[in-house]
Amino acid sequence: MTRSEIISSTEPAPTGAALLEVDDLYVEFRQRSGTVHAVNGVSYSLAPGQTLAILGESGSGKSVSAQAIMGILDTPPAVITGGIRFEGRDMLAMQPEDQRKIRGPGISMIFQDALSALNPVYSVGWQIGEMFRVHQGASRKEAKQRAIELMDRVRIPAAARRVNDYPHQFSGGMRQRVMIAMAIALDPRILIADEPTTALDVTVQAQVMDLLKDLQQETGMGLILITHDLGVVNEVADDVAVMYAGRIVERGTVDDVFTRPAHPYTEGLMKSVPQVEAKGGRLQPIVGQPPNLAAIPSGCPFHPRCAHRRLGAAAAPGRECATDDPPLRLVAPGREAACHYSEEVLGV
Ligand SMILES: Nc1ncnc2c1ncn2[C@@H]1O[C@H](COP(=O)(O)OP(=O)(O)O)[C@@H](O)[C@H]1O
Ligand SMILES: [Mg+2]
C-alpha cells in the first residue's frame, strides 16, 4: 500500500480522534490592495452523526473556512495557518495528492453556487456517474446503474427514466438533489453543505433539509451546515457556531443559543427575524454594516454595531470594547461567547 492508499482507506481513526478538528484556523488573502482577513482563529470539532450549523451574515468567512477544510483554496493568494485534522490526520501537512484523496470519501461539500455548477451539456446521470468512473474506475454501464440508485436515494422520482435527462429539464429543487447525490456518492464521513437551500423556495427548502437529515441518519456522517437562515439552523442542527468578522463569537447547543443568546450579535440576529412565538413581530435589523475584512475594527470587531458596548470610562478595566479584544470564553455551562459583557446580555 502506498501512503495515499492508506490515507484513503477506511481503516479506523486513531482512538479518541474526532472526525474533524479545526484548530485556530486563519485564512488571509494577500492582495496588492491590502490583506483580507477572512478567517481569524476559528476552532471547532465535529463528531460522527453531529450536525453543526455555522451561522452568520454574508461576508463573515463561512465559505472560506469550509474551502480551507476542503483544501480547495489556491495558496497563494490564500495563506492558511492553524490545524485541520480529519480523523486525527493533519490535512495541512499532507501532500496535495493525499488531500485530494480525502475529498469525496472523507469530506465532501455541496457548494454555495451548486445549482449553476451542473454542466448543461451532459445528462445528470452522466455527471453523477462520473464520481464512480473517475474515483472508482467503474464502467459506463456500472456508473449509470449506480447513478440511478443514487437518484432514487435522493428521492428523484422516476430515476431510471430520468437518468438521461439534462439539468435544464429539472426544477431547482431536483437539481439540488442531483448535487446532493454527487456529494454523497462516495459515502463521505463528513458533508459540508454551504447554503444548500438558499436558491430554493420555502417548501422545497424543507424537503431538501429533510433529505439531508435522513441521509445523515442512514450513514452517520457528520454534517456542517453553513447558512444565514435561523429557521434552517433551528430545524436541523444540534450545535451552532455564530461567525462574525471571520471568528466564532458564540457557540453552544441550538436550544441554548436561540433561547438565550450570550453575544449581542446573536441577540441582534434573533431580533432581526420574526420569531416563531411572536409572529407579526416587527423586524429589527442590526444597525450598521458587516465589517470590511480588509479593515476589521479594533477591540471587539462588533463594537461599532453593538447595543451593549462600553466605551471609555464606562468600561470595566481591561474590557473597553473599542480597544480590548474579547476572547471566546465559557460564559455558561456548554456555552462560549466572545463578549466582555455576556453575563449582562444573558441577564445573570
Ligand atoms: N478568493 C478570494 N480572494 C480574496 N478575497 C476573498 C476570496 N474568497 C473570499 N474572499 C473574501 O473573504 C471574505 C469572506 O468571504 P466568505 O467566506 O465567502 O463569506 P460568507 O461565506 O460568510 O458569506 C469576504 O470579504 C470575501 O470577499
Ligand atoms: Mg458563503
Q: Which residues line ligand 1 (CB under 6 A)?
A: 29, 36, 38, 56, 58-64, 77, 293
Average pLDDT, the chain: 89
Nearest alpha carbon, ligand 1 atom 4:
29
163, 151 Cβ separation under 8 angstroms: yes
The SS3 call for residue 39 is strand
DSSP string, 170-216: S-HHHHHHHHHHHHHTT--SEEEEESTTTTS-HHHHHHHHHHHHHHH
d(CA 148, CA 150): 5
Q: How confident is the model at residue 1 (pLDDT cuts 50, 70, 90)?
A: very low
Nearest alpha carbon, ligand 1 atom 27:
59
d(CA 279, CA 90): 47
- 192, amino acid identity: I
Residue ranges of domains in the chain? 3-237, 262-346
Which homologous superfamily is 3-237 in? P-loop containing nucleotide triphosphate hydrolases (3.40.50.300)
In 103-171, which ranges are continuous DSSP H helix? 124-136, 140-153, 159-162
Q: Taking the model in full, what pTM does it have?
A: 0.90
Q: How confident is the model at residue 12 (pLDDT cuts 50, 70, 90)?
A: very low
d(CA 339, CA 265): 10
Question: What does the pLDDT look like over 211-236, one tens digit per residue?
Answer: 999 999 999 999 999 998 888 899 89
Nearest alpha carbon, ligand 1 atom 8:
64
d(CA 282, CA 62): 28
d(CA 274, CA 167): 35
What is the structure's pLDDT at 229? 87
